[in-house]
Amino acid sequence: MSGNNPVTAGNAPWVRDPARFGRVAVLLGGSSSEREVSLDSGANILAALQRQGVDAFAIDGIPALVQAIAADRVDRVFNILHGTRGGGEDGVLQGLLAALSVPFTGAGVLGSALSMDKVRSKQVWQTLGLPTPAYRVIRAGDDIARAASQLGLPVIVKPAREGSSVGITRVHESADLVVAAELAARHDGTLLMEQLIQGDELTVAVLADRALPSIRIIPAGQWYDYHAKYLAEDTRYQCPALTGAEERAVGELALAACRALDVTGWGRVDIMRDRQGNNFLLEVNTAPGMTSHSLVPKAAATAGIDFDALCLQVLATSLAAETGGDRR
């Protein structure tokens, strides 16, 4: 992803001929910890595509998708599975579809795998000089108190390979470190302890080669947890979050983060902005939520793209895969 050019998919001839997409499997649900969010997102996408005449149908989980492909029922996949271990964001699904020559939305194998692993994401960003909070990797038997003292409290403790704020704790006191680590350890993989950046929580959606308007998230509680993301009605959003050069800079940072991880098609980049105006990359979501509370639709609406058009434009990024392109 590069540049900041308008998305022009709405003017392309195939938009007026939805048959161009063929039979579209909206892949939702699955067996990850984010199943319920995926079901909600998928139902919204399915309805939007069908309203526009796309021959779209829902498939719950990867095993069912494999069966449908074997039965020659699928021409392309709109992937809205979330997470890993039965989710579709970790590169496993992408490798399967690439091997079967089935076009799909979102990042490919490398981009999905790197983005799902928050430690690997940060390592790539650091190598390229992109800003991200200081961190420590926590493995079984490690001295978590020592790691926290090296970073300095407060810190965030979270699983390295989960999304939707699953298993995350903000730790302000040393006495709370053990409980935070135990919560995160309920999920597979290593743990990540990260410096907590004090400031504003921002997110930037990317679509094709464009950064959409940034969003500042203002939860009613102390932070933007699972409840605030998907259930609460009192979370507020400022879109765009910034203006002028600052807005352009945060958009360029989001695009640079995606380029570094080989994320193409669409996604959402989470960023913390400290009180001095410095931006820090947190993670990239390669199959962002599309629920009534989700952020990509809010950013798209500010950019003049309604939900139905957004779904069609995301689906359009899968066309490049047919010719070996990168879904830009």
Ordered domains of the chain (ranges, CATH): 9-105 (3.40.50.20), 135-195 (3.30.1490.20)
The pLDDT of residue 191 is 86
Which of 73-82, 212-221, 257-266, 289-298 has the least mean pLDDT? 212-221
The pLDDT of residue 105 is 97
Residue 285 annotated as catalytic? yes
The pLDDT of residue 231 is 55
| Highest mean pLDDT (candidates 153-157, 175-179, 183-187, 269-273) | 269-273
Residue 270 annotated as catalytic? yes
Annotated active-site residue in 283, 294, 318, 327:
283
Residue 233 has pLDDT above 60, yes or no: yes
Annotated active-site residue in 40, 108, 162, 230:
230
**Contact between 206 and 1 (Cβ < 8 Å):** yes
Give Cβ neighbours of residue 178 (< 8 Å, ≥ 6 apart).
Answer: 144
User: Is pLDDT larger for residue 238 or for residue 140?
Assistant: 238
Arithmetic mean of pLDDT, 181-187: 79
Arithmetic mean of pLDDT, 108-113: 96
Annotated active-site residue in 224, 289, 294, 318:
289
Could you read off the pLDDT of 237-295 as tens digits, one per residue? 999 999 999 999 999 999 999 999 999 999 999 999 999 999 999 999 999 999 988 99
The pLDDT of residue 106 is 96
Residue 229 has pLDDT above 60, yes or no: no
Residue 4 annotated as catalytic? no
Annotated active-site residue in 29, 30, 33, 34:
34
The pLDDT of residue 12 is 47
The pLDDT of residue 227 is 46
Residue 226 annotated as catalytic? no
Annotated active-site residue in 112, 214, 285, 294:
285
**Contact between 214 and 240 (Cβ < 8 Å):** yes
CB atoms within 10 A of CB 235: 17
Annotated active-site residue in 40, 115, 270, 318:
270
What is the enclosing helix (H) or strand (E) of 55? strand 55-60
Residue 268 annotated as catalytic? yes
Q: What are phi and psi of 88, to 5 degrees?
A: -120, 30
Residue 130 has pLDDT above 80, yes or no: yes
Annotated active-site residue in 33, 38, 115, 164:
164
Residue 85 annotated as catalytic? no
